[in-house]
Amino acid sequence: MKREIPMIITMVAGLFMLIAFFVPHPAVRHLYEGFQIWVIVVVGCTYVLGVANLLRINWRQVARREQDWPYKIVLIAGLLVTMAVGFSEGTHYTDVTSGFQWIYQTFYSPMSSTMFALLAFFIASAAFRAFRIRSVEAMLLAIAAFILMLGRVPLGNAIHPAIPAAADWLMEIPQNAAKRGILIGAALGVMATGIRLILGLEKTYGGDGS
Amino acid sequence: MLFAVLLLASLSSASAIPLQASDTPNDGGGSITLHWTDPSAPPPRWTVVRRERGGTFAPLATIDGKLQTYEDDTAQPGTAYEYQLVALPTDPLLDSDISAPTQAIANWFDGTKLNVLVVAGLFFLLLFYYIFQAERGTRWTFRKIAGLDAIEEAIGRATEMGKGVFYIPGVQDIDDIQTIASMILLSKVSRMSAKYETGLLVPTNSPGVYTVAEEVVKSAYADVGRSDAYRSDQVRYITSEQFAYVAAVNGMMLRERPAANMLLGAFFAESLLLAETGHSVGAIQIAGTANVHQMPFFVVACDYTLIGEEYYAASALLSNDSRLLGSLKASDTVKILLITVIVLGAILMTFGQTWLWDFFATQ
């Protein structure tokens, strides 16, 4: 029953959500919106489990003096202090002058921006590998990328007006065609996965006892 | 004198524009749509007035005089309303007729989604047909996907090297279909890891995903009879913040130096940050996503990439279950039909026939 009950719930909820997609009647719509609220409530409850897991794992690493354990203390202290400040400020935690916002703007935001900024270096290293011409496909990729990059900056137009036009053509025709092909395939994949779950054909996620 | 008044009244009546009110179709019953024909010299603005049957008119909205339609989405279902357009500035000669009493009706089917219903219904029928065929013993051959064969190879390599496997299920919550598909694949990967006694680490960025992933991994270990090998710190909740998650996972990769990285799920700006770090530690990398804009990053930085539908087909192909493979067959058949419809639609549009295009147009 441990496996059957979740599967029955998945099937009933999945079929209901599928039907609700086509039915605008309030009798169905209200229940549909209720389901969406339930999702928020359930996800809210999982935060308790998630934070407990985070504290448990990191505290254990500190207690065992595992590699880089001082950083775990920073993490635990950061989590607890931010939570304490946020809870103490109640609904005012979003105010510009609140302590919670000060922590967010002073610590989190610059660190997050730094991580994002690293992307520029990673793109450069990935592009270096991607544009090494080792096959016909890689050559086509490199030529397309060269035209596109040149066409997107003023220098391209200064060299010849056909370069930005060629870049636009690449984006509008071959790129769009390939992207739409992938999207149609992915949409059918979504449908197939959804139906497999709703009908209980796909049950490995809950363990099938095999 | 009396004759002149009657004449004026009749002229006024004759010149009033007809106003048609009707229930807005395909909705939940809170809307009535008004239509009228533009008078030859429309006023600058109209005031739309409304009354319940037998009541007095009250202004509802002021709209541009050039409009020919208005949707009242404040109607109560089951209440009959009458409407009138009043010219602004006031000019009784331009005012519209009073519309017939109309009620907003709640519909049980949204007709604008008929095209989706037809395709979904066709998919269901084909699916049941192919499952029936599969149960009668029919087998189909599917194209080999290198990335899927590489999963077992990567776990085997990790086992030989005595290192671990990282499984990163994307950065979307558990209500995203890509994350759900990732949980199905996680089950397969966990079984292989448990079977080979290879360390598996699943850092998650959502507590919902963490809760499900923990259950999936635990069940997979139990299924292969290795419950004793399951450790409670294999599945971890890191943070829901995108770049903080990347920083933590990259740090874990650099410390633990896994032999294999599996990036399967919905990824955004963090895709290349994770994949390049994995590449720098020498891990064999298998990625899979349906996010079109992240695919080039994975193709460049990873050894194998499951693109779009390959990602969704992975669990069925790995299981080799004939009923699951039947769903792939149904998916392929619908794809052939859609390609046929696209070609047919292009031909019809070339000859000025728009009915097929109209049917598949989304609202």
In this predicted model, what pLDDT tens digit does every residue of A47-65 receive, in sequence order? 999 999 999 999 999 999 9
Asked whether residue A71 falls in the same domain as residue A143, the answer is no
Is residue B107 pLDDT above 80, yes or no?
A: yes
Q: What is the pTM of this model?
A: 0.88
A126, part of any domain = no
Amino acid A153 reads V
- Chains A, B: CB contacts under 8 A, how many? 203
A203, part of any domain = yes
In the three-class reduction of DSSP (H, G, I as helix; E, B as strand; rest coil), residue B228 is classed as helix
A180 touches chain B (CB under 8 A): no
Asked whether residue A79 falls in the same domain as residue A26, the answer is yes
In this predicted model, what pLDDT tens digit does every residue of B72-95 receive, in sequence order? 999 998 899 999 999 999 988 889
| Number of separate domains in chain A | 2
Asked whether residue A135 falls in the same domain as residue A83, the answer is no
Structural contact between residues A33 and B197, judged by C-beta atoms closer than 8 angstroms: no
Which chain A residues have a beta carbon less than 8 Å from that of B321?
201
In this predicted model, what pLDDT tens digit does every residue of B19-77 receive, in sequence order? 999 999 999 999 999 999 988 888 999 999 999 988 999 999 999 999 999 999 999 98
Spell out the residues 6+ positions from residue A81 whose beta carbon is closer than 8 angstroms to its own: A103
Partner residue opposite B207 with nearest CB, options A27, A46, A210? A46
- B82 beta partners: B51
Measured distance CA(B340)–CA(A163) in Å, rounded: 35
Instruction: ipTM value, please give it.
Output: 0.91
**Do A24 and B292 count as a contact with CB atoms less than 8 A apart?**
no
Partner residue opposite A188 with nearest CB, options B29, B273, B331? B331
- Residue B31's nearest CA partner among B58, B63, B89, B71 is B71
Dihedral in degrees, nearest 10, Cα atoms A45, A46, A49, A54: -130
B328 touches chain A (CB under 8 A): yes
Which pLDDT value is given to residue B9?
45
Is residue A163 pLDDT above 50, yes or no?
A: yes
Is residue B5 pLDDT above 50, yes or no?
A: no
**Strand positions, DSSP E, chain B:** 19-23, 32-36, 45-52, 58-64, 69-72, 80-88, 102-103, 165-168, 200-204, 235-237, 260-264, 284-289, 304-307
Asked whether residue A139 falls in the same domain as residue A70, the answer is no
Which pLDDT value is given to residue B15?
60
Which pLDDT value is given to residue B1?
45
Is residue B255 pLDDT above 50, yes or no?
A: yes
Buried b (16+ CB within 10 A) or exposed e, B184-193: bbbbbbbbbb
**Do B313 and A60 count as a contact with CB atoms less than 8 A apart?**
no
Partner residue opposite B207 with nearest CB, options A47, A127, A182? A47
In this predicted model, what pLDDT tens digit does every residue of A62-97 receive, in sequence order? 999 998 899 999 999 999 999 999 999 999 999 999
A188, part of any domain = yes
- Residue B52's nearest CA partner among B31, B75, B81 is B81
Partner residue opposite A119 with nearest CB, options B110, B219, B273? B273
Amino acid B276 reads E
Confidence of residue B6 (pLDDT cuts 50, 70, 90): very low
- Neighbour count for residue A167 (Cβ, 10 Å): 21
Going along chain B from its start, the domains and CATH numbers come out as 15-103 (2.60.40.10), 111-132+323-360 (no CATH), 139-320 (3.40.50)
Asked whether residue A79 falls in the same domain as residue A3, the answer is yes
In this predicted model, what pLDDT tens digit does every residue of B139-148 receive, in sequence order? 898 999 999 9
- Sheet containing strand B102-103, strands side by side: B58-64, B45-52, B80-88, B102-103
A56, part of any domain = yes
Interface test with A, best of B178, B327, B337, B343 (most A CBs within 10 A): B327
Measured distance CA(A55)–CA(A72) in Å, rounded: 9
Asked whether residue A82 falls in the same domain as residue A1, the answer is yes
A93, part of any domain = no
A107, part of any domain = no
Measured distance CA(B100)–CA(B262) in Å, rounded: 64
**Do A115 and B273 count as a contact with CB atoms less than 8 A apart?**
yes
Asked whether residue A1 falls in the same domain as residue A84, the answer is yes
A60, part of any domain = yes
Measured distance CA(A29)–CA(A21) in Å, rounded: 9
The distance of Cα B255 from the centroid of its chain, to the nearest Å, equals: 38
A23, part of any domain = yes
**Structural domain containing residue A5:** 1-88
Confidence of residue A208 (pLDDT cuts 50, 70, 90): low
Structural contact between residues A29 and B28, judged by C-beta atoms closer than 8 angstroms: yes
